[in-house]
Every structure is written in C-alpha cells, then in structure tokens.
Amino acid sequence: MNYRHAFHAGNFADVIKHIVLVRILTYLQEKPAAFRVIDTHAGAGVYDLSGEEASRGGEWLTGIARLMQARLSDAAGPLVAPYLDIVRAFNPQRGLEAYPGSPLIARALLRPQDRLVACELEPVARKHLIGALRRDTQARVVDLDGWVALPAFVPPKERRGLVLIDPPFERKDEFDRLASGFAEAFAKWPTGSYLLWYPAKSRRATDDLARRVAVATGGGTDKCRRLEFSVAPQTADGPLTSAGLLIVNPPWTLMADLKTILPELEKPLGQGGAARFRLA
C-alpha cells in the first residue's frame, strides 16, 4: 500500500499515533535534561483539511473531527487534552481547517533545551515542512532518506529522546526495512524510546514485525509494547481500517494512560460500530 500522509491527515490512525506521541513527550518533559525527537519520515508538517488530498477520502471526518466532539471522562480527558490543544492551536477559528503532522506536534512540546530533527526526502513535502518550521532554531529539516537517517542520527548528544518511524509503505519490503532499520538503530542507542507505526492489513506481516522488533530488544515484554486499533473489519482490498504501533522503551506511565484513554475512543472512532483495540 501507499500511505501518503496528506491523503490520510487527521484520520483514526493519526489520532491514535499522535495521542501516544504526545503522552511520551509529555513524560520526557518531566525531567529537566534535554531530549531530542527524530522523525524519520516527517511529511509536510501541516495539512489543509479542505485541500484536494485530504478531501478525497475525508478521513479526518471520522477521525479528529469526531474526537473533537467527543465527551471524555474526567480520567481520560486530561490525558488527551495536550494533543487536542495542539490541534486547536492550528485552528484559531472555530472548526477544523488544518491538521498538524508529527513534526509540528512534536515541536509544540519542545522546551528551550530540546531539539527536533525532521527527515523528508520528497521535494514538495520537504518544501512545505521547511516553510512550517522556518527560522526555528530548535528544529532542523533534513533532506535525507529516513532509512539512511535512522542509524546515522543515533545516539543524539542529548542521550534522551524519541525516534518516530512512520514510513509511507510504498514498497513491498517496507516491513522488512522497518524491522531491520530499527534493529540497527537500537543496537546503537538501546536506551532511546522508539515509536514504530504500521498499517495492519496482514496479520502475518504485523506479527513478524513485532517478533523481529522484540528479538532486537532482547525479547523482554517491558521493552516493547504493541498497540493495534481497528475501526472496522479490515479487508484485503478495502481502505485502511486497522493500524498499529510498536512502542520500544515506553515511559512507565504509558500503559496505564492508554488503558484509560483507548476504551473511550472505541465509540467515537468506530465506523459502522464500535472500534476495537489490542494492547499488549
């Protein structure tokens, strides 16, 4: 499949991925030492929800738009609020017109001592990302293939931080590249946190990816957590309705946060019925 960010901005997969991203970065903020975020496939930075790409499928209407209208409990609401506040900051007028991608969400959570490296090879997307981060001394846009950047930029000098690996899955061997690229980076920086996103269309492919990542980390369940979220049954030729995350070296608070948040997303994000999630 080809998962171009612009066509899917603000959909259910973005919502889940970005809530987890914000929870991890919020945790990293709790210690004064600097951290770095490395986004290997950064995309354009900000997406026009009324633009041609986002409008084609209108996936944001069953993703971020529904979450913005959902009533969350007193337990889940404060955990999701930092993410929603970032989205609202890009929409100062009422309604939803723009959606921030991962690098802009990460940038919103950097303190003065923190840094962001955003890698984007596609020229148009890179141009938009540079425009979104222009004159930002804490963020660097790199014209480099994310798979080359992944082992090249670790460990960062801060020795704390997160690597987000969110490729477009344009090639048939993308799962293999994700597993092998992560293993190479983890061998160089085993104390960093990693967030690996993948489309969950093939159980064999996703199980194999999870197994290889677990082996690379030493096989301990505490080092690698797996989250999959499905808004409807996945069909081989249908649109993406299931996506997953592998979270390596997660904050110790993350699992409890997700156990509070995820059940409350099943109803608003479900399509033709309640969504379902798997957390292990």
- Domain span at 109: 5-279
pLDDT at 53: 83
Cα–Cα distance for residue pair 183/196, rounded to 1 Å:
12
pLDDT at 237: 79
CB 170 within 8 A of CB 146: no
β-sheet with 161-165: strand ranges across: 139-142, 115-119, 36-39, 161-165, 193-199, 242-248, 224-230, 276-279
Higher pLDDT, 152 or 56: 152
pLDDT at 141: 97
- Could you report the per-residue pLDDT of 155-207, keeping only the tens digit for each? 999 999 999 999 999 888 999 999 999 999 999 999 999 999 999 999 999 99
Other beta carbons within 10 angstroms of residue 169's beta carbon come to 20
3-state per-residue secondary structure call for 236-258: CCCCCCEEEEEEECCCCCHHHHH
pLDDT class for 4, splitting at 50, 70, 90? Answer: low
Q: Report the percent of the chain where pLDDT is more than 90.
A: 86
| pLDDT for residue 221 is more than 70 | no
Active site residue: 14, 39, 114, 166, which one? 166
Cα–Cα distance for residue pair 211/190, rounded to 1 Å:
17
Other beta carbons within 10 angstroms of residue 203's beta carbon come to 11
For residue 247, give the CATH number of its domain. Answer: 3.40.50.150
How many folded domains does the chain comprise?
1
| pLDDT for residue 2 is more than 70 | no
Q: Which whole number is the average pLDDT over 237-263? A: 96
| pLDDT for residue 130 is more than 80 | yes
Residue 166 annotated as catalytic: yes
Q: What is the pTM (predicted TM-score) of this model?
A: 0.96
3-state secondary structure of 35: coil
